[in-house]
Structure formats: C-alpha cells, structure tokens
Structure 1
C-alpha cells in the first residue's frame, strides 16, 4: 500500500483506505522492508522551507549555540530474520517414544484414579466451607452472564429502533471493509469517549504553570512540526499525538523557552515510534534542528517525557473521532465524497496550532469540523441529521460555540502568520480545499432556535 497517497483514510483516487498496522504489514509480506520511507533530503526546495521554519523558531530555541552544518548520516534500519531449526529426529524415534509411553499408561491411570478420589474429598471440604461463608460462585457467574446478555439485547433493540428513526447503520458488514472490526466499533468508541476526559491537557496551563513561554511560541513550534511531518511523510495520527504529548507535558512541568523545540522533536520521536511502521531515527530529529540538540539530549528528554506521562500513549485525539464521524457523514451520499474528507481534516488540523481550542474536547472539535465542512460544500440540505447526532452524541445546538470559533479560524480573522497547514491543503492532492470560500454559518444556527 502506498502510504504517501493516503491521507485521512482516503486515497488520491477517491478510494477509502485502511490504516496499515504493524501486524497487517507483516501479513502483507514485509511492507516495512519494501515501502520504507527514505529519510534523505530531497533537494534544496524542502531544505529552504524548513530553514524558514527554523528562522521563525529562532525566538523560542537555543540561539546561543553555534549551528553546525554537518549532516548526521541516516542510520539504516536492519531487518534481522531468524530461521527456526527443524527437527532432525526420524520416524523411528517417534515410534520408540510411543512404545515407551504405552508402557506407562496403566501406572498413570492408577495414579490418576487416586488423585481424583483425593480431589473429590478435597472439593467436598471446600464446598462445605463455601456454604458456611454463604459464597455461591456459580450464581455470581450466572448473574454476570445475565448482565452481558441484557447489554447485548439492549444494543440490538437500539439498532431496531434506530432503523425506524432513519439512522443508517454504519457498522453493518455490507457497508464495511472485512478487515475492519465493525462489530466492536460501538464498544470501542464508547471507551474512547471516556478516555478523552482522562487524558487531556489543561486548557489554561500557560497562565497557571508556564512562565517563560507563551501561546504564540507554542503555535510557532507546532506550525514548524507540521512542516517536519510533511518532510518525513508521517501519518496524521503522529502529528495529532505529538501535539497531545506536548500539551500534556506542559500541563505538568515547567519548561524554559530554550528547551521548547527539544520538547517538540522529542514528542514527535515518541509519537513516530508509536504510530509509524518505520519511524525516523533520532539522528534525523537532531539534523532537522540544525544539530542544535545532541542525540544524548533528545534521549534524555524522551525518558523525561515518558516517565512524567506514565507511558500513557494510547490517547484519543481528534483524528480518532474523525474516522467514525466522517464515515457517518459519508453514509448520506451514494458515492464517497472525497472532498469532504479533505476539508474536514483541514479544519481539524487548523485547531492544532491554536492554544484556545484546548478548552474543547477532541470529539467536539471533530463533530464541529464535519458539520462546518458539510455546510461549506452543500447548503441545499441540512448538514446535521439523525445519523450524525446518533454517532457523535452531539446535538447541533451543542456545537454552535465550537463551529463559530472554527469558522473564524478558517477565515483567519486574527491574521495568524502561521500558514503551514493552509499551504499544505492548497496542494492539488488535497483538492485545494484551503481555497474554498466559507459560507456564513450564523444563519444556520438561527434557523434552529
């Protein structure tokens, strides 16, 4: 599978793609070895764009150090394969073992009978003790099974009622790829809806904790990391997880501005190891900062981040919810609307740079991006229906504040100079969705009052 042609679950040709995991790569016959991305630099154009980002980062990085022009050689990943040793024993050895085993059958049966009688007497004693303590374990298991069956019946009843309300079952086997575990989707997303409350950064850590950095410095860092992710062709999940790790670390630990870029590349290194099949080596992240930081400093920072966050890397980000919400939105169309996927992902990525969007839950941002994208592309029909409300668990009135803030962000009412995401989605491979004119959304919410 060509990862470079896939973004947000949609290929350039419009075909919906499946996210490749390490297990799937092994099953497909060594995808990691054949499709390993090249971490060598591709000419001077990309180098100049990254240098521009580094110049902007001069205010928030360690400018006292002398920048070096030496390039770190990319370490080549080696795939070590081991061969299993085959047994050299012949058929004769097997026959000898069978005959010797048959000789002990009678003695083993006698031992088993004696052991069984002993166990039966022991079980009777244990049963009497359990009766004295009034512990009836079979009843507990039966009650637990009863609860499970009640939950299953409740889910099936909800699906029956949803058909009458015009809700499309996006988890049906007919509509889904067989490689996707559609039967577990409701349980998975119910779980991550709880997790997004547990593992989210503080919305006001800049005022409450940090003293040497500002929201604008954070924006400059993330805007530069967007360029880095494009340079190394990282999957979108890596970028979202990187921003989450940065904000969670800054919510708990005080940091100086000289180490802010070090924190950024370290979090991207961690996210790459977690999300990518073939992650860039540490030396590449040192080189991307013009060797401002050494390999030892990055590894030390990596240990500090992981220990502070207790190695909790399984975090539901906005991208996690986007996959399901976009699927629900696409159910309204007979043919997959590729432009909708790109526009939704563009709107969602715009929020990564803005510190003010930390006050909103990832699921709320994802739902708002889908609503705004559908309204931008088509005003002839209402962008929020019973299917969207069912799978997002948000009513349209609950999305008003976030949608209006997202619309202002798309219009760039504050004149933000950070344009890495806008330039990214002006490319033809994303159907230039960043150039689409925004439709006024205030009238949409007024009609709902």
Structure 2
C-alpha cells in the first residue's frame, strides 16, 4: 500500500502527516499505521473469495438442528413443543406407511417375476416339442438320405480375430452382395444382340493376353476380375470395331488398377504394353467412354468376391487349411473368365461350382458338398450340376483350346502346379447318385 502527499493535501489528524513521510512515496507498514492511529488497527475487509467460502460453509451447515438451536439460543422466537412432538409423530407414521407400501410393491414384483418365469418355461417346452416334431417330419420326408447330413453347420465367423475378415459384419455384407450380383450384370448374349465386328473367339484371345499383362505387372486378382467385368459390361451396350478391342482391354485394366491397386501402373505403361499401338490421348478418351457406359459403378461383386468366402467355408471341414484347395479353386474360376459362355452363370454360382470341383478333384472318397457349404453358398447340389460339368470341360480342355496363359500361370511352383491336377472320376458320377 502506497500513499502520496500530493494526492492528500487536506489530510486530517487520522492521516499520516507529510513530515513523517520521507520522500514523495513511503511504504506504510502495519507498525507505522499502528503507531499513527494510536495502537489500534481497524479490521481488514474480507476478500470476495473469503466471503464466498463462508457462504458455502454456512449453506452446508444449514441443517434443521442448527436452525432450531440458533433460534432457541437467541430467544427471538418461541417454539411450541407440542407442535414439534406432533410433527415428529406424523413423520414417524408417514415413514411406517411408506415402508408398508415398499413391502407390498416388492411382494407384487416377486409374484410377477415368478409368473413370468413359469410362462417362459412353458413356452420353451412348447418350442422344443414343436422343433422335435418338425425334425421328425423333415427326417421322414427326406427318407434318411445318405447324400449329406444337414444337421450341423460350422460357424466360419466365430472367434475370428483378423479384422480384415470383418467377421462381425460378414453375414450382412454377403447378404447385400448376393442381391448386388443380380444388378449391373453384362448381357449373356451381347455378341449376338450388340456386336457386329467381333466374336467370342476374339474376346477369348483378348482375355488370355490380359492374363499375361496382369502377371507382368503383378496385379492383384481382383484387378483382373474387375477388368473382365468392365469389358463385358461395355460390350453389352456399345458396339466396337475389332481394331479397337485391345484398346478397350488395356483401358479397362487401367480403370480396374486405379480402383483396386495400391500403386496403379501409369497410362504410359499400358500404351507401352501394346507396342505403342495406341496413344495416351486414345487411352484417356476410351477411359471416359467406359466410365460413362458403366455409370461410374465400379464396386461390383465378381466371382473372386464370393470365392474368398466359399473357400473359407470349404476349409472348415479340414483340421488345417488346405492351401492346394485354394489354388485349385482359383485356377478353375479363372478358366471361366476366358469363356464367353459362362456369362450366363451368376458369379456366386461359378465360385460355388469351382469349390465343388476342386474338392472333388482332391478327394473322391467323400461327397464334396456339406451343410456348411450349402449354407454359405446358398446352392444345393442339383443347382451346381450344369456349371460344374462346364468347368470340368475347361479343366480337361475337352475343346482343345490352344490359349494357355491361365494354365501356364497355375503350373508354376508358387501355385503348387494345380493346373496339372485331374480327377480320375468324372464329376457326372456324383450327380447320378
């Protein structure tokens, strides 16, 4: 605290005189103030924080007992003892009534819970009885069929820790994928309806060449499947001349690479792979045409989409995953991409048929289909017959096709040379049982 003599020209007796102050500004200590005021120091005004703290403490201690004691000690208000006794008696009676109500409520709740448990037990017993009856009826209708046992389905999504499998959502995801495969499908007969200058043989040569391109650039399988899908969807709506068919192929692979690959090859690479038959401008112009033709809808389910799920369902019947089964199923599925006639089959049907034939090729001692596969593929054995026999013809090369890019790819040791595997028994014997 500082004081200036110039600011107090009319200082009275209670103030410190200027003669006692040295200099213009002197610090007034408590000892000096006490001496100047005759030994009396006025109480300091409490700060705002202290006032607030006191108010809070006062509120906390503001109970009924403190209020009554304060009033009685002060003697300002006379309290009628009779009123106090009556109020205590009424409070006690109210507490007793409340206790009785709580007891009654607890009793009612216990009774309701008991009744509900009895009802639930009765319903469960009825449900079990009805289920047993339904099972008996089903067994009687099937007549004890020895084809397969439908009593047990393995849950392939249970306790899967790998987040890439999306096990918690997998069932819902594939529920939607099964619906989506019915949409945005290429026409199964676009060669006859739309095209005038190309034929299935030219398409076969193009796809076989694209197998080599995808191997050269080490593209993921999804890129190749999407490439073929884009080619067929474009040809289903747009007529093309044969000298531009290769341009369409590399452009669709460019689009698929941009969609599926982490690092897609640049446009110049796809020009180079065609020996610079097409320029960068031509490729980019065709890219615009393809994207407009498919309405920029690139997220479509292919055979590879279903194949991953179905192979996992097939591996559930083995104690350890069978790598050879995975390679063989992928090989059979890729053989179908070359053939125009397989556009009549749904991608899920082709994937299920490839798994069926792969299991049969590896082991003829047991039936290749089981309840788990039927549950996850949604196909019964009879529904697979046509597609399975058609894929087996490709596997055995009954038509004598000279295009061997896919076969050479899966003859490599990294794929365990599954292209050489053949079943000693034809698959037709399974369906004749």
- Fold-level match, TM-score > 0.5? yes
Q: Distance in 1 between matches of 2:359 and 2:254?
A: 35
Counterpart in the other structure of 1:343: 328
Q: CA deviation at 1:232?
A: 0.2
Q: CA deviation at 1:420?
A: 0.2
Counterpart in the other structure of 1:61: none
In the alignment, structure 1 residue 170 sits paired with structure 2 residue 161: no
Q: CA deviation at 1:318?
A: 0.1
Counterpart in the other structure of 1:368: 353
Q: CA deviation at 1:382?
A: 1.2
The RMSD of aligned alpha carbons is: 1.4
User: Which stretch of structure 1 is more off in the superposition, 337-346 or 432-441?
Assistant: 432-441
Instruction: Tell me which stretches of 4 or more aligned residues in structure 1 moved more than 2 Å.
Output: none
Whether the 8 Å contact between 1:170 and 1:176 is mirrored in structure 2 is no
2:286 corresponds, among 266, 285, 301, to 301
> CA deviation digits over 1:168-189, x for unaligned, max 9?
000112x452443111111111
Counterpart in the other structure of 1:333: 318
Whether the 8 Å contact between 1:212 and 1:255 is mirrored in structure 2 is yes
User: Which stretch of structure 1 is more off in the superposition, 345-354 or 438-447?
Assistant: 438-447
2:173 corresponds, among 182, 188, 196, to 188
Q: Residue 217 and residue 333 in structure 1: after superposition, are their counterparts in 2 closer, same or farther (change >3 A)?
A: same
1:222 corresponds, among 189, 207, 210, to 207
In the TM superposition, 1:267-346 aligns within 5 A as 267-346=252-331
Q: Residue 223 and residue 437 in structure 1: after superposition, are their counterparts in 2 closer, same or farther (change >3 A)?
A: same
Whether the 8 Å contact between 2:150 and 2:371 is mirrored in structure 1 is no
Counterpart in the other structure of 2:80: none
1:199 corresponds, among 184, 191, 196, to 184
1:420 corresponds, among 367, 382, 405, to 405
Q: Distance in 2 between matches of 1:263 and 1:223?
A: 14
Q: CA deviation at 1:231?
A: 0.1
Question: Number of paired residues?
Answer: 285
In the alignment, structure 1 residue 232 sits paired with structure 2 residue 217: yes
Q: Distance in 1 between matches of 2:328 and 2:310?
A: 13
In the TM superposition, 1:31-430 aligns within 5 A as 165-173=151-159, 175-430=160-415
In the TM superposition, 1:433-448 aligns within 5 A as 433-438=418-423, 439-447=425-433
Q: CA deviation at 1:221?
A: 0.3
Task: Give the 3-state SS of the residue equivalent to 2:354 in structure 1.
Answer: helix
Q: Residue 445 and residue 179 in structure 1: after superposition, are their counterparts in 2 closer, same or farther (change >3 A)?
A: same
Task: Give the 3-state SS of the residue equivalent to 2:242 in structure 1.
Answer: coil
Whether the 8 Å contact between 1:369 and 1:403 is mirrored in structure 2 is yes
Q: Distance in 2 between matches of 1:429 and 1:260?
A: 32
Structure 1, unaligned stretches of length 5 or more? 1-160
Q: Distance in 2 between matches of 1:380 and 1:339?
A: 17
Whether the 8 Å contact between 2:191 and 2:200 is mirrored in structure 1 is yes
Q: CA deviation at 1:308?
A: 1.2
Q: Distance in 1 between matches of 2:312 and 2:333?
A: 16
Q: Distance in 2 between matches of 1:242 and 1:181?
A: 25
Whether the 8 Å contact between 2:150 and 2:370 is mirrored in structure 1 is no
> CA deviation digits over 1:313-333, x for unaligned, max 9?
001000000000000000000
Whether the 8 Å contact between 2:303 and 2:351 is mirrored in structure 1 is yes
Q: Distance in 2 between matches of 1:164 and 1:250?
A: 42
Q: Distance in 2 between matches of 1:413 and 1:179?
A: 39
Q: Distance in 1 between matches of 2:268 and 2:375?
A: 46
Task: Give the 3-state SS of the residue equivalent to 2:165 in structure 1.
Answer: coil
Say which one has the larger Rg. 2
In the superposition, the TM-score normalised over structure 1's length comes to: 0.62
Structure 2, unaligned stretches of length 5 or more? 1-134, 136-148
> CA deviation digits over 1:344-369, x for unaligned, max 9?
00000000000000000000000000
Q: CA deviation at 1:165?
A: 2.4
In the superposition, the TM-score normalised over structure 2's length comes to: 0.65
